[in-house]
Structure formats: structure tokens, C-alpha cells
Amino acid sequence: MSNVTQTHSGKKLHKLEKVAVRFAGDSGDGMQLVGGKFTETTAICGNDFATLPDFPAEIRAPTGSLPGVSGFQIHFSSHDIYTPGDAPDVLIAMNPAALKVNLKDLPENGIIVLNQDAFSDTNLKKAGYTSNPLEDGSLKRFRVYPVPVGRLNAEALSKLGLPKKDAERCKNFFALGLIYWMFDRPLDSTIGWIKDKFKKVPGIADANEAALKAGYFYGETTELIPEHYEIPQARVAPGLYRKISGNEAAALGFVAAAQLAGKQLFYGSYPITPASDILHELAIHKNLGVRTFQAEDEIAAIGATIGAAFGGALALTGTSGPGVALKSEAIGLAVMTELPLVIVNVQRGGPSTGLPTKTEQADLLQAMYGRNGECPMIIVAPATPGECFHMAIEAARLAVKYMGPVMFLSDGFLANSAEPWQVPRVEDLPRIDVHHPTVEGHFQPYLRNPETLARPWALPGTPGLEHRIGGLEKEDGSGNVSYDAENHQHMIHTRAAKVAGAAKDIPPAKVAGPDHGELLLVGWGGTYGALRAAAEEARAKGKSVAHLHLRHLNPFPANLGDVLTNYKRVLVAELNCGQLLSMIRAKYLIDAKGLNKVKGKPFQVVEVLRGIEEAMR
């Protein structure tokens, strides 16, 4: 699988198709930063990649402790890849705790690069080691490269006259430099970043650059590591690419949606993990007509969003599951007043505060049913980080066209995971049609478009259209408060029919793989990569397995019922206890089975593959 060349330093350069590297260290060690820089360089080298950061819930757990370990995994390849990799091939461990937490994921013969200097008695004790794994033979099954990162880094920076503490902070760049050598990557992009980032403190810039280079040269010159690797460029569609995470893509998607609709973007939000990055990203773009509002609480955030929607903005609120719980009464108000807005739920582990920094897909039924009364809303779910962009535009389109709230279900994995993304051309993006009535005369705020059943979006400031809306039941047409029994039932059905009718307006369900067969693997949201890879592997083993990933969860695509009946078995894989499964079983009365995991972690490809094989047995 690899062919070998000799490099000028006399070391062997192996060609690999793909590799997964995990950086792990204390949360203060800057692992997310070096992971991010490694990713950027990998992108520029033209590999396909997927990343998965894994950070602790505490900002700074005690130094050296197991809960304080922060990790970042990148899987990169010379061909298409779909996941950050089930297991790392290479682990960089900056201290004993990082080794201990991550070792169980490493396959036999996997490479461990570790910071030898951190393996002091105190640190070993903090990590719960009773003997030093570097000496007790417990790492025999792996290829271990102990590197005195602390000492080498200090030596490399000794001439710069930096305070000891500042010099020590650079050791993550030393490690990064070493890994750059290991994978034959250029340093220039990272050096450029360092220069720019620390331009006001040139001493620090020089130190980080020196540390990076020292790490690289250490790899090249010492005897310790006998070989390094090259992962050739991937063959991807020509075009302009960038790296993007799900939260970034969602934020950009909504900015784009507002422009495509000719609207101001309003974002009302209350800080919550893992959604806050959307607020941070949007708050920057004041010169693009984006107005962000950090509210006093989750309810205020959606209240303001409803107010902005009433005023005619493309209005958006973002949160995670606990926030959606608080917003549910207000979502009902948006359903009742039939105003367009998007609610972003970046799902995390629940219930209650749950696992704030971990991923889960357990808020689907909350999105479906988590409100008082019969209160349907449209639900969409992006499948990949990059797709968050296009689904944001889709969510906005549906909200505006069908005049109601739309739930955008992202998750912690999509939010923080990054992949290469082909930059779309603005002129290729779909316009979003918006109509505001201006005609004077007898205005009826609930007179519906016969095709979509949407009511008109009449804006304050328009003479002659003064009207009142609210949470009390409305008489269809006039919008006057009505307690009439027949009208209430009619309105309940109308609101449901409006949401159901959007099925005509969404793409049909499309499978990857055979269109008839043994098993259909069904999923939604951020599990896309693992499911797709597992289905491909199953087919490679000769199994008749197709994969369907749903982006529209309410309503379902109109052809979904037919698609499901084309397979002998249906297996619904999701990171919950079977929520989509219960929706599919209830709606289509088929004996679908579930493949479920609720550990705060994404599916591994092997887990899904095993699930497929068991289901087919």
C-alpha cells in the first residue's frame, strides 16, 4: 500500500493513501490550535480531509488531569474520505494524561510521539499511572517515539531571551513542526499565520517560528524517527476550495440567504455550547447588514427574533437543546402568528445540561413534538459541515415561502468538524423570493396563498395594512381572535397541511447504491460520513446495501414511503435511542430496525458496518 523513496536526509519517505493523526494534550497545551494549523496546511497540500476536535467541558480542568485532556483528530487522504477516522494511526501525546485517555483508540503498531519531558512522577500520578509506561513495557505493541519536547524547545529558544514561561508556551509549535516533517508538509502557511497573529509582539512571533522550525529539523536530522510519509494530492473536482466547519458554514449560509432574499439578517442568541461560534461569526459582519443581538436569556433571544421577523428581517435564533426547551412556547407563537424564522439547534448530549461539548442527535422528537398543542414545524438537517451552508439557505427559503418557523438541526460534530469546501459562486446560488403586500383596502392578514397556504407577510410601516396578530387562535382570513370550535379545527388542519405541503417543494429522497436490494441504511444529520463509508464498504464486500441520508425530516420527501419498500430490510442508524426510527415506523408502518449509539461520540465506520452485517444476518 505504500511505496518508498529515499529523501536527501537519508530517511525513507513512504507514500500513504490516508492517515489519521490525533494531537492530544492538556487543554492549556494549544492542541486545538496546532490541529487547526495542521489542517490548513493539509488543505493547501490538496488532500481531502475531515477533522474532529474533542475538548473537555471545563475551560481549564486541573493541569495534567484526565478530564483536562483536549484532542484534535484529522483524517487526510489522497482520495475521498467521509469521516475523521475511526482510530488514529499516529498519536501525539503531550503528557501522560493525554496518553492514557487516547491509548485505547490506537491500533496495534500505531505510532506514538510523546513529550518525554512531561512524564514526571507528579504528572504520572495525576494521570493515575502507578508506573511509567515509557519504562514498564506497556507500550510494547506500539511504535513509540519519545521526544524531549520541553528541553529541545527550551534549547531552541534559548538565544531569544524570552521569559521561561513564554518559551515553554511554544512547545506545541515544536511538536507541530515535527509532525510537519513526519508528513512532509511545508511550513510556510503556518509561519505566515504566526507572523500575522503576533505582529504586535514580534518576540513571540520569532519564538513560535523558531520552535516550529526546530521541531521540523529535529525530525529531519535525528536518528530517532527513521521514516516519514507523503500523502499525495486528492483528485477532487477542480475549483476554489477553503476549509470550513459546520458552524462557520451555517453562519455564512444565513448571511448568504439574507442577501439572496434582499433582507437584513437578524440573529438573536444567548451564548451556549456548541452554538456560540455562530453568534461570534455573525457579529463580525456588520458591514453586510447583519444585526446580532445577545439577549438576556434564551426566551428573549427568540422573542427578539420573532419581533425582527414581524419587522421584515430574515430572522434567526441559534442555540442547543436546553435552549430549544426554553424557546418552545415562543416557537408556538411563531407557528400561531405564522412568521418566518429559523431556529438553529446545534445538538449536544442531553438530557438537561448533559454533555455540553459532545455530539448527539436526541433532539429530533423535541423538534417534532416539543411544544404545547398541535404545533407542526418544518425541520431540516445538514449532513456535512459544508452542507450547513446550503441547508441554511434552504431553511430560510422554506421559512419565508411557507411563513413559519423552521428548525435547523445541526449537531456538535458538524459544528466543530471541518472539511474542504468548494467555494460557491454567489451568482450560482438560488434567489429567495419574498413578497410584502402593499395594496390598500380591506387587508386580511390570514388570507392564504392557495398553493402554499402561506399568509401574507405585511410589514409595519406599510400604510393601510395596520393589523394585529398574536398567540390567541385566529379566524382564518381576517385574523381576528376567534374561539369558534369549527374555526379552531380548521386552523389546526390548515397549519398542519401547510407544513405537510412543503413536501412538494423539497428534493425527492435519493439513495446511494442499488435502488432495490437487501438493506437500506437510513440516517440523518452529522452521521453522514460514517454511514456512507460503511455502506460503501459493505457493498465492496458484495452486500446489497444502499444508503439514504435524509435532509428534510418534516415533512419527509414525498417519495420516501416508496423508497423504503424497495428493500427487504430498513436499518435506521442514529445517535439517539431511535427517534427517526419511531417516526418512520409510525408513518410508514414498516418493521424498520435501529442502530443506535448514545455516547456523545460520532459513529465509527466499523460500528456501522458491524450493525449492517448483524441486521443482514
Partner 1 sequence: MSVTTTTSTMAPPAAKPVSKADFVSGQDVRWCPGCGDYAILAQVQKTMADLQFPRENVVFISGIGCSSRFPYYMNTYGFHSIHGRAPTLATGLKIARPELSVWVVTGDGDGLSIGGNHLVHTIRRNVDLKILLFNNQIYGLTKGQYSPTSEQGKKTKSTPFGTIDYPISPLCVALGVEGTFVARTTDTDLKHMAMVLERAARHKGTAFVEIYQNCVIFNDGAFKGITEKSVRPEHALFLEHGRPMLFGKDGTRGIRLDGVHPEVVQTAGGKTDGLCVHDERAAEPTLAYMLSRMRNPDYPVPFGVFRAIERPTYDGMLLDQENQATAKLGAGDLQKLLKGPETWEVK
Q: Does residue 238 touch partner 1 according to CB under 8 A?
A: yes
H or E element: which one contains 421?
strand 418-422
Give the nearest distance from C-beta 92 to partner 1 in angstroms: 23
113 binds partner 1 (CB under 8 A): no
- Helix 188-197 and helix 31-44, axial crossing angle in degrees, nearest 10: 130
* Cβ 241 to partner 1 shortest distance, Å: 5
Strand partners, 319: 345
Query: How many angstroms separate the CA atoms of 150 and 269, rounded?
Result: 42
464 is a contact residue toward partner 1 (CB under 8 A): yes
Pick the closer one to partner 1 by CB: 311 or 356: 311
User: Which of 216-224, 252-260, 409-417, 557-565 is the region at the interface with partner 1 (rule: CB under 8 A)?
Assistant: 252-260
**In the complex, least distance from residue 266 CB atom to partner 1, rounded to whole angstroms:** 5
Label residue 542 exposed, middle or buried (CB < 10 Å: 0-12, 13-18, 19+): exposed
Residue among 226, 460, 477, 507 that touches partner 1 (CB under 8 A): 460
512 binds partner 1 (CB under 8 A): no
- φ, ψ at 25 (rounded to 5°): -165, -170
- Identify which of residues 351 and 460 has a Cβ nearer to partner 1 in the complex: 460
Using CB under 8 A as the binding rule, whether residue 484 contacts partner 1 is answered as: no
We find the least distance from the C-beta atom of residue 16 to partner 1, in angstroms, to be 20
φ, ψ for residue 227 (rounded to 5)?
-145, 160
DSSP state of 44: H
211 near partner 1, judged by CB under 8 A: no
461 binds partner 1 (CB under 8 A): yes
Q: Does 468 bind partner 1 (CB under 8 A)?
A: yes
Contact between 330 and partner 1 by CB under 8 A: the answer reads: yes
Query: Can residue 286 be called a binding residue for partner 1 (CB under 8 A)?
Result: yes
* Dist. CA 567–CA 514, nearest whole Å: 10
- Candidate list 285, 490, 585, 593; residue touching partner 1; CB under 8 A: 285
Greatest pairwise CA separation for the chain in angstroms: 88
34 binds partner 1 (CB under 8 A): no
Q: Is 195 a residue that touches partner 1 (CB under 8 A)?
A: no
Could you say whether residue 50 binds partner 1 (CB under 8 A)?
no
Site for partner 1 in 288-317 (CB under 8 A): 288-289, 291, 293, 295-297, 299-313, 315
Within 10 A of 46 (CB to CB), how many other CB atoms are there?
A: 16
Residue 470 vs residues 36, 307, 309, 448, 455: alpha-carbon distances, Å: 47, 12, 13, 17, 14
216 belongs to the binding site for partner 1 (CB under 8 A): no
**Per-residue binder mask for partner 1 (CB under 8 A), 364-393, x = binder:** ------------------------------
* Interface region with partner 1, contact rule CB under 8 A, candidates 177-185, 261-269, 354-362, 509-517: 261-269
Smaller CB separation from partner 1, 244 or 502:
244
Cβ 254 vs Cβ 265: under 8 Å: yes
**Grid coordinates standing for 369?**
413534538
Asked whether position 80 contacts partner 1 by CB under 8 A, the answer is no
Helix axes 202-221, 149-157, angle to 10 degrees: 120
Task: Report residue 582 as a C-alpha cell.
Answer: 419511531
Does the bond joining 351 to the residue before it have cis omega, within 30 degrees of 0?
yes
Least CB distance to partner 1 at residue 423 (A): 5
Q: Which is nearer to partner 1, 421 or 567 (CB)?
A: 421
Task: Tell me the closest approach of the beta carbon of residue 225 to partner 1, in angstroms.
Answer: 28
Q: Which is nearer to partner 1, 462 or 487 (CB)?
A: 462
From candidates 425, 450, 591, 617, binder to partner 1 by CB under 8 A: 425
Residue 344: exposure state from Cβ atoms within 10 A (0-12, 13-18, ≥19): buried
Nearer to partner 1, 425 or 617 (CB): 425
Contact 327, 380 (CB under 8 A): no
* Backbone dihedral region for residue 578 (phi beyond 0: left; psi -120 to 50: alpha; all else: beta): left
In the bound state with partner 1, the residue whose beta carbon lies nearer, of 28 and 289, is: 289
Stretch that binds partner 1, among 54-62, 137-145, 174-182, 332-340 (CB under 8 A): 332-340
Angle CA 506–507–512, to nearest 5: 150
- C-alpha cell, 135: 519504562
Half-sphere exposure of 233 (CA within 13 A, CB side): 7
Q: Which is nearer to partner 1, 295 or 558 (CB)?
A: 295
Given phi > 0 = left and psi -120 to 50 = alpha, else beta, which region is 548?
beta
| Identified binder of partner 1 from the candidate list 28, 146, 424, 437, rule CB under 8 A | 424
The nearer residue to partner 1, 132 or 438, going by C-beta atoms, is: 438
Instruction: Say if CB 281 and CB 330 are below 8 A apart.
Output: no
359 vs 367: CA distance, rounded Å: 17
462 binds partner 1 (CB under 8 A): yes
Binding flag, residue 325, partner 1 (CB under 8 A): no
